[in-house]
């Protein structure tokens, strides 16, 4: 039996990248995001697939927190999850059973350079709570 996680979309994620997905994909985005949230509710099961991975596993104030990266595709597009370039960075808080959505982006949103280094820096700059994990 897997844990049923609650989903929190952080303000930064909504303001910076999710709004671009909504504008670009309109109704398809709503369907896509509903599916992504359903996957996040069963995050432990999602980690047993090739579309999610734990990048950092640590503790903040005694609570286990995992920073994870997932891939998704927008409904109605022909790309696979991997080739779409669409990613989510989430903080999975095990004690509170929450998946906090930190970033939702297309890899081209991050600019030039190493994708991992760029999203890590964005998380450190915009989420002081998780900074100590890096």
39-66 average pLDDT score: 93
pLDDT of residue 99: 97
- How many percent of the chain have pLDDT more than 70? 99
Task: Please enumerate, as own/partner, the contacts of 57-61 that have beta carbons within 8 Å and a separation of 24 or more.
Answer: 58/132, 58/133, 60/129, 60/130, 60/132, 60/133
Provide the pairing of β-strand 52-60 with 63-72.
Answer: antiparallel
Tell me the pLDDT band of 131, cut-offs 50, 70 and 90: very high
pLDDT digits 0-9 by tens, 56-109: 999 999 999 999 999 999 998 888 788 788 999 999 999 999 999 999 999 888
Backbone φ and ψ for 15, nearest 5 degrees, come out as -70, -40
- How many percent of the chain have pLDDT more than 90? 69
The model's pTM: 0.92
pLDDT at position 6 over 90: yes
Count other C-beta atoms under 10 Å from residue 58's C-beta.
13
Tell me the pLDDT band of 1, cut-offs 50, 70 and 90: low
**Residue among 44, 67, 41, 71 at smallest CA distance from 56:** 67
Q: Which helix (H) or strand (E) holds 45?
A: helix 43-46
């Amino acid at each position: 039996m897997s844990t049923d996680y609650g989903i929190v979309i952080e303000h930064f994620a909504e303001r910076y990248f999710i709004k671009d997905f909504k504008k670009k994909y309109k109704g398809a985005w709503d369907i896509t995001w509903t599916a992504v949230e359903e996957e996040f509710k069963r995050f432990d099961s999602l980690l047993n697939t090739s579309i999610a991975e734990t990048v950092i596993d640590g503790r903040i104030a005694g609570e286990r927190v995992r920073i994870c990266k997932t891939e998704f595709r927008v409904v109605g597009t022909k790309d696979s999850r991997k080739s779409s370039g669409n990613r989510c960075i989430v903080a999975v808080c095990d004690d509170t059973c929450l998946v906090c959505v930190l970033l939702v982006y297309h890899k081209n949103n991050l600019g030039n350079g190493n994708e991992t280094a760029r999203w890590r820096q964005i998380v450190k700059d915009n989420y002081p709570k998780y900074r100590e994990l890096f």
